[in-house]
Amino acid sequence: MLKIDLDACIGCGVCEANCAFGAITMKDGHPEVNEKCTLCGTCVDNCEVGALSIEREAKAGQTDLASWSGVWVFAEFRRGRIAPVALELLGAGRGLADTRGVKLAAVLLGSELGGAAAELIAHGADTVFQVDDPALAHFTDDAYGNVLADLIRAHKPEIVLAGATAIGRSVIPRVATMMGAGLTADCTQLAIREEDGALLQTRPAFGGNIMATIVCPDTRPQMATVRPLVMKPLTRDAARRGEVVNVAAPPERLRSRVKVLDSVASEGEQANITESDVVVAAGRGMDGDKGMALVKELADALGGAVGASRAAVDSGWISYHHQVGQTGKTVAPKLYIACGISGAIQHVIGMQSAETIVAINKDPHAPIFDVATYGVVGDVFEILPKLTAKMKERKGA
Amino acid sequence: MDYFLSEEQQMIVDVARQITEERIIPQRAELDEKEEFPVDILKAIAQADLFGLYIPEEYGGFGGGSFDIVLALEEFGRGCVGIATAFAANALGAYPILISGSEELKQKYLPDIASGAKYAAFALTEANAGSDASGIQTTAVLDGDHWVLNGSKQWITNGGEANIYTVIAITDRAKGPRGATMFVVEDTDPGFSYGAKEKKLGIRASSTRELVFKDCRIPKDRVIGRVGTGFITVMRTLDLSRPGIASLGVGLGQAALDEAVRYAKQRVQFGKPIISFQAVQHMLADMAIQVEASRALVYATARNLDVNKSGVSKISSMCKVMATDMAMKVTTDAVQILAGYGYMREYPVEKMMRDAKILQIYEGTNQIQRNVIGQELNKEYINK
Amino acid sequence: MKIFVCVKQVPDAKDVRLDPKTNTLAREGVESIMNPYDRHALEEAVRLKEAHGGTVTVLSMGPPQAEATLREAVSCGADEMVLASDRAFAGADTWATTYTLSMAIRKLGGADLILCGKQAIDGDTAQVGPGLAERMNMPCITYVRKVVAVADGAIRVERMMDDGYDLVEAELPALLTVVKEINEPRIPSLKGKMKAKKQQLVMLSAADIEADPDQLGLKGSPTQVVRVFAPEMRGERAMIEGTVDEQVAALAARLEAIL
C-alpha cells in the first residue's frame, strides 16, 4: 500500500495533481489515498520531500520462476494462411529472446497446416510446436485453449505473445486464467527489464490518454497481446533452420462445447482499410453526413479507403469497420489524411505507423499536429472540396 | 424555476428527457426533411411506459393525470413538435373513450393504447366544419345491429397510422347540437379508407390525412356514451387536451430560447459575443419571461384539471392561447437572433418556427379559444 | 433461464481528457456511466428473458457508487442486482476481477447464461469475459453480434471475426461477450424506474463470497503497473500556412510527390 509520512509531508498537493487515477485527495493539508490507487508509483517519483513510499505485500506467487524459459508466439492460422500478426510477433519475439538468451518458439494450431511451420521458421522461429488436427479446423476457445495450456504446462515458456485479433483476444485470456498468469492486452511496446529480465509491457490506458508499463513479477508465463501492424516482421529468410515438433493432442482435450456451424468471409469493405495505401479519415470535426461525404469524395479521388475516429463511429456517421485506433483497426498506409480529428492517443495508436500523415483541423493546438508530417490549420469544409478538386485535376492532367 | 415536482413526476420528466435527447433530437431534422412518421421513436416511448401515462391502472396504464402528460409532452415538444404531435394525438383519440366510453369499450381499447400496441386518433374536423362544429356532414344511420357511416374527415392527425379512430357523426340532424354521436372506428372496418397524406409547413414527422367513410359498417356497441352526446364528449375531450398542446408550446419555446442563448454567447460581432449587446439581451429576456410565465400557467391549469372535472374550459383555453402564441413569438425571435444562420436548415430554429404555427391553429384556433374565454367571462359576470 | 449480466461503472470516455499543461487526467465534471457495451449485454439478456422466461441478475464489482449503475440496469429490465464491494477488491486486474465475479456467481447459485460487454471503455482489455468463462468452466463466445436461437440446452449465435463472421453453437451454460451491433438498448421505462427505486440491493463482501484473500484486489493481481506516462508524439510537424487556396495548393503538391 501507499505509505504517507505525515512528518515529512509539506502538503504541497503535487501528488494529488499528478495522480492519473484520482486516488489521492488532499485533506487537512495532507494527502489521503483511496481505493483507486494502483500503486503505480507516479506520486512517489514526484514527491520532492520523499514523504511517499510503497510497501508491497509479499505475494503468494509461484516459487519456481527460474525454471520457465523461452519466448513463445501463438501463430494464428485461419483459412489456410498464417495471420500476418504472427509474423510481426516473431519479429518482436526474436528481439526479446535474443536479449534473454533463450529460444523463440511458435505454436501453430489448426488443420491441414501444410508448409506453415516452415514459414514461421523463415520468419524467426527456432522451434514450431505444431498440432495438426481436424478438430482444430475452426477456432473454438475450448479446444484451442486446452491445447495451448497443455503445451505451456509441458514446456514452461517465460513469455507468451499473441495477436490481439478476435481469436487471440478470445483464447489468450482463457489460457492466462488457466495458468494463473498475468496478461496485458494490446501492448504497443515490449522490452526486457535489465535488472531481472522481466517483460516490460507498455499499453495505452484510460482510452489512450496515458501510457502504462506493466510487469508480472510473480507469475509465469508473462503473457501479452499485441495489435496487428504494431510490430515489424523480420525479412523472410528461407535458409533459416529450425525444428518442427509435431504434437498429438488427446481427444478429450480437443472436444469443444462450442461448434462452428458456418464460417463466412466478409465483403471487401471491411478489409480494405488495413490494406489500402491511402486512408482518409474523419473525426468529430466532420460533424455528420455532409462532412462524411467530403471525406469520401477525397478518398475516392485518391483511390483510398475511408477511416474514422471513435468519435465519428460513436456518433453513428460510419460503421465500426472503419474505426482506426486502439479499439478499432491499426493501419499503416503510405498516406493518412486525418480530417477534423483531434488526435487522442487512442486514435494515434492506430495510425502512427503511416509513412506520411497529413492533419487538417481548425484547432491549431489539436494534438494530431504533433504526429503529423504536414499540418494544415483550417476549416475542413473549405479545404476538403478544394483539395479534392485539385487532386482530380492532377489525375486528369 | 423549481415547480416542486414529486419524485414520480421527476421520473416522468427524466424518462421523457432521455428519449428526447437520445432519440428525438438526433432524428428530428431527417424525419422533418423526409416527412417520415416516427415509428421507432413511438416504439421507444411505448417501451418506456409513457403511452399509458394518463390511462387508469385497471386498463394497463400508469394512472396519471393531466399534469403528468403535460410534463412528458413539454419534454417531447422541446425535441420536436411533429414527433410530439404524433404521440399526443393518441391521447386525443383515447380521451373520448376514457371520458364517456362504456366499461366494455374501455376494456377493449384502452389496454392496447396504454401499451402502444395500437395507435389512436381523433376525428372531428371536416371540409366545412372546423371551428364551427355544427357544419358536420358525416352521418351515421342505424341498420339492424350496425351503424353505417358516410362522409369524410379532414386533416386527421395520425390518419393512416392509427388503428383506433374516435369519430363524430350526425345521427339526428333535427336535434341540432344534441344530434351528434361519437363512435369507435377501427382501421380494418369495411368501407373505411384514407385520402392522400397532406404536405405541411411544419410538424412534418406527423401524419395528416383524410378519412373516408363509404357505407362503413360498424357494430352497434361502438357508440361512445349515449347516442346524441357526441358534442359534449368532444368539448370535454378538448378541455382535457388543450393543456397538452400548451405544453408543446412551452417545450418548443424553451428549445428556441436555449438555441438563441447558446448562439448569442458564441457569435462574435464587432469583437464581442452578441449576447453582450443590450438589443439582444432584451430580446432574450423577453423570451425567457414569456416561456416561464406560460409554463407556470400550464402547470397550474393541468394541476387544476386533475382536481376539478368541470368548469375548466376557460383556464384550459387560456393556457393554450398563452403558451402557443408565446411559442410563435419566441421561435420567431430565435430565428431573428440567429439571423442568416437561423433561416438556414442547418440550424434547428427555422423548423421550430415552422412547427410553432400549427399550435395556434389546431385543437381550436386561438381565436376560438378567445371566444370560449369571452363567453365564460360573460357567464361568470352575470350576477356581478 | 438464469441469466447474469456483468456490468461495470466507468468514467464517460467523452469527458476524460489529458490536461495538456499538467499532463494529468482532467477528472472534474467526468460523469460515471454504465460501460456502453454492457448496456447492449443487458438489453440482450432482457430480450432473451422476454422471449424464453427466466430472470436477469446484474452483477458488478466496484465501489459503493456503482449502485447507481445497477439501479439503472434494473430500470432497463433486470430483475435482481448484486454489488460485490469490499476494500479488499480494490486494485484488481482482470485476473482478480474474474475470480471475484466467479465466486459471487457461485454464491448466488450459478448461471445458465452469462452476458458481458465485449470490453470496458476504461481499460479496453476484453479479458474479463473469457477469463470469467474459464473460472466458471463454461464455453465462451466473444464478439457476438446476433443471437440466432436458444433451444435444447444450446445457444446459437453469430460472432464477429476479423475476416467475417462465424455461426456457432454452444452448450449451455455458456458465456457470451457482445458487440454494439447486437441491438439497440432500451431507454429505462417509468415502471422500471419505479421498480429500481424500491429494489433491494444485494451487497456481497469478500467474506460473503468466501473468497481467498490472497486472490483478491491488488494483492491477487498478477499484473503490476510500474510506470504511467504521457505518450510521446513524434511528428515532423511541417505546418502549411497561407490562405486556403495557398494551403490547398501546397498540400496538393506534396501529396502529388508521395503518390
- According to DSSP, the residues that pair with B273 across neighbouring strands are B268
* Alpha-carbon separation of residue A215 from A182, A201, B337 (angstroms): 8, 6, 59
Structure-derived torsion over alpha carbons of residues A138, A143, A147, A153, reported in degrees to the nearest 10: 150
pLDDT in tens, A124-167: 999 999 999 999 999 999 999 999 999 999 999 999 999 999 99
The answer to whether the bond into C63 is cis (omega within 30° of 0) is no
The answer regarding whether domain B7-119 maps to CATH 3.40.50.2300 reads no
Q: Parse chain A into domains and list their residue ranges.
A: 2-54, 65-254, 269-396
Please name which of B170, B88, B178, B168 lies closest in space to residue B124, comparing C-alpha atoms: B168
Identify the band that residue A1 occupies on the pLDDT scale cut at 50, 70 and 90.
Answer: confident
Neighbour-count burial for B13-46, b at 16+ CB within 10 Å, e otherwise? bbbbbebbebbbbebbbebbeebebbeebbebbb
Q: With beta carbons under 8 A apart, name residues in chain C contacting B18.
A: 187-188
- Considering B210, B363, B376, B380, which one is annotated as catalytic? B363
CATH topology of domain B121-228: Butyryl-CoA Dehydrogenase, subunit A; domain 2 (2.40.110)
Q: Is the pLDDT of residue C107 over 70?
A: yes
Q: Is the pLDDT of residue A55 over 80?
A: no
pLDDT in tens, A12-40: 888 888 777 778 888 888 888 887 777 77
Q: Distance (Å, rounded) from C-alpha B239 to C-alpha B244?
A: 10
Backbone φ and ψ for C147, nearest 5 degrees, come out as -95, 120
The answer to whether the bond into A134 is cis (omega within 30° of 0) is no
Three-point CA angle A17, C222, A101, nearest 5°: 105
Q: What would you measure as the largest C-alpha separation in chain A, in angstroms?
A: 76
Q: Is the pLDDT of residue C162 over 60?
A: yes
Q: Do β-strands A210-215 and C224-229 pair in parallel, antiparallel, or remain unpaired?
A: antiparallel
Rg (CA), chain B: 21
How many residues are listed for chain A in this entry?
397
* Alpha-carbon separation of residue A143 from A256, A265, B236, C139 (angstroms): 5, 22, 71, 10
Interface test with A, best of C24, C145, C146 (most A CBs within 10 A): C24
Tell me the nearest-neighbour CA distance from B89 into chain C, angstroms. Answer: 20
Hey, what's the cell of C235?
511528428
Q: With beta carbons under 8 A apart, name residues in chain B contacting C187.
A: 15, 18-19, 22-23, 44, 47-48
Please name which of C87, C62, C83, C91 lies closest in space to residue C220, comparing C-alpha atoms: C91
pLDDT at residue A268, rounded to an integer: 47
Amino acid at B164: I
Identify the band that residue C49 occupies on the pLDDT scale cut at 50, 70 and 90.
Answer: very high
Grid cell 528481439 is found at A95
**Which residue has better confidence, A320 or B301?**
B301
Q: Distance (Å, rounded) from C-alpha A258 to C-alpha C117?
A: 19
Q: Are A277 and A304 in contact (CB under 8 A)?
A: yes
Three-point CA angle B77, B79, B80, nearest 5°: 65
Sign, CA dihedral B162-B166-B171-B175, equals negative
Hey, what's the cell of B224?
361512445
Amino acid at B285: A
Grid cell 369519430 is found at B167
Q: Are B181 and B223 in contact (CB under 8 A)?
A: yes
> H-helix or E-strand containing B302?
helix B278-305
Identify the band that residue C198 occupies on the pLDDT scale cut at 50, 70 and 90.
Answer: very high
Q: Distance (Å, rounded) from C-alpha C36 to C-alpha B268?
A: 37
> Under CATH, which number does the domain B231-378 receive?
1.20.140.10
Identify the band that residue C16 occupies on the pLDDT scale cut at 50, 70 and 90.
Answer: low
pLDDT at residue A269, rounded to an integer: 45
A226/C contact by beta carbon, under 8 A: no
How many residues are listed for chain B in this entry?
384
pLDDT in tens, C90-104: 888 999 999 999 999
A279/C contact by beta carbon, under 8 A: no
- CB within 8 A of A156, min separation 6: which ones? A67, A68, A69, A70, A220, A221
Q: Distance (Å, rounded) from C-alpha B263 to C-alpha B261?
A: 5
Question: What three-state secondary structure class fits B122?
Answer: strand
What is the pTM assigned to this prediction? 0.82
Percent of chain A at pLDDT exceeding 70: 95
Q: Distance (Å, rounded) from C-alpha B183 to C-alpha C153?
A: 51
Give, as one character, the DSSP assignment of residue C231: P
pLDDT in tens, A329-338: 888 888 999 9
Q: Would residue B161 show up in a list of annotated catalytic residues for this protein?
A: no
A159/C contact by beta carbon, under 8 A: no
Question: How many domains is chain C partitioned into structurally?
Answer: 1
Grid cell 437561423 is found at B342
Q: With beta carbons under 8 A apart, name residues in chain B contacting C197.
A: 7
**Which residue has better confidence, B172 or C259?**
B172
Hey, what's the cell of A211?
501510457
Please name which of C47, C56, C59 lies closest in space to residue C9, comparing C-alpha atoms: C59
Give, as one character, the DSSP assignment of residue B99: H
Q: Distance (Å, rounded) from C-alpha B287 to C-alpha B328?
A: 11
**Which residue has better confidence, B271 or A229?**
B271
Q: Are A334 and A355 in contact (CB under 8 A)?
A: yes
Nearest to B47 among C186, C193, C194 (CB): C186
Grid cell 462532412 is found at A291
Tell me the nearest-neighbour CA distance from B48 into chain C, angstroms. Answer: 4
Q: Distance (Å, rounded) from C-alpha B28 to C-alpha B287?
A: 23
Hey, what's the cell of A289?
453526413
Mean per-residue pLDDT, C106-122: 94
Reported as half-sphere exposure (CB side, CA atoms, 13 A), residue A232 has a value of: 4
Identify the band that residue A280 occupies on the pLDDT scale cut at 50, 70 and 90.
Answer: very high
Whether B49 sits inside 8 A of C189 (CB atoms) is: yes
Give, as one character, the DSSP assignment of residue C131: H
Nearest to C131 among A38, A173, A216 (CB): A173
Domain with C33 in it: 2-223
Tell me the nearest-neighbour CA distance from A196 into chain C, angstroms. Answer: 14
- Tell whether C123 is covered by a domain: yes
Q: Is the pLDDT of residue C85 over 60?
A: yes
Q: Parse chain B into domains and list their residue ranges.
A: 7-119, 121-228, 231-378
pLDDT 10s per residue in chain B (384 long)? 999 999 999 999 999 999 999 999 999 999 999 999 999 999 999 999 999 999 999 999 999 999 999 999 999 999 999 999 999 999 999 999 999 999 999 999 999 999 999 999 999 999 888 777 678 999 999 999 999 999 999 999 999 999 999 999 999 999 988 899 999 999 999 999 999 999 999 999 999 999 999 999 999 999 999 999 999 999 999 999 999 999 999 999 999 999 999 999 989 899 999 999 999 999 999 999 999 999 999 999 999 999 988 889 999 999 999 999 999 999 999 999 999 999 998 899 999 999 999 999 999 999 999 999 999 999 999 877
How many residues are listed for chain C in this entry?
259
Give, as one character, the DSSP assignment of residue B21: I
Whether B15 sits inside 8 A of C187 (CB atoms) is: yes
Q: Are B78 and B349 in contact (CB under 8 A)?
A: no
- Which chains does chain B touch, 3 or more C-beta pairs < 8 A? C
Nearest to B19 among C187, C194, C197 (CB): C187
CB pairs under 8 A between A and C: 292
pLDDT at residue A37, rounded to an integer: 76
CATH topology of domain A269-396: Rossmann fold (3.40.50)
Q: With beta carbons under 8 A apart, name residues in chain A contacting C13.
A: 207
The answer regarding whether domain A65-254 maps to CATH 3.40.50.620 reads yes
> Under CATH, which number does the domain A2-54 receive?
3.30.70.20
pLDDT at residue C233, rounded to an integer: 60
Sign, CA dihedral B185-B189-B195-B197, equals positive
Q: Distance (Å, rounded) from C-alpha C9 to C-alpha C62?
A: 8
Three-state secondary structure along A203-272? Answer: EEECCCCEEEEEECCCCCCEEEEECCCCCCCCCCCCCCCCEEEECCCCHHHHCCCEEEEEEEECCHHHCH
Question: What three-state secondary structure class fits B121?
Answer: strand
Q: Is the pLDDT of residue C236 over 90?
A: no
pLDDT at residue C29, rounded to an integer: 64
Three-point CA angle C239, C241, C244, nearest 5°: 125
| ipTM confidence score | 0.88
Q: Distance (Å, rounded) from C-alpha B104 to C-alpha B286?
A: 50
**Which residue has better confidence, B281 or A6?**
B281
Residues 165-224 of C with CB under 8 A from A: 165-171, 174, 179-181, 214, 218-219, 221-224
Q: Are A262 and A357 in contact (CB under 8 A)?
A: no
